[in-house]
Amino acid sequence: MSLDFMEARCQTHSSRKKFGLCDDPPPAKNPAYIDETNGAKWIAVVINE
């Protein structure tokens, strides 16, 4: 399966200085996503200067 990450449906945005990336465990029904509130689910942290 290929994805074009330039398509709007493949993008999310945040203006927060710190947020996390989440990817639910298999069998995941949704693609990976950003989360701004629940740090327990984060698999990576983005410092957005």
Q: pTM for the full model? A: 0.72
The length of the chain is 49
pLDDT given at position 46: 95
Closest CA to 33 of 21, 43, 18, 44: 21
Backbone dihedral region for residue 17 (phi beyond 0: left; psi -120 to 50: alpha; all else: beta): alpha
Convert the pLDDT of each residue in 4-26 to its tens digit.
767 777 778 899 999 999 998 88
DSSP string, the chain: ----TTSGGG------SEEEEE-PPSS-SS--EEESS-GGG-SEEEE--
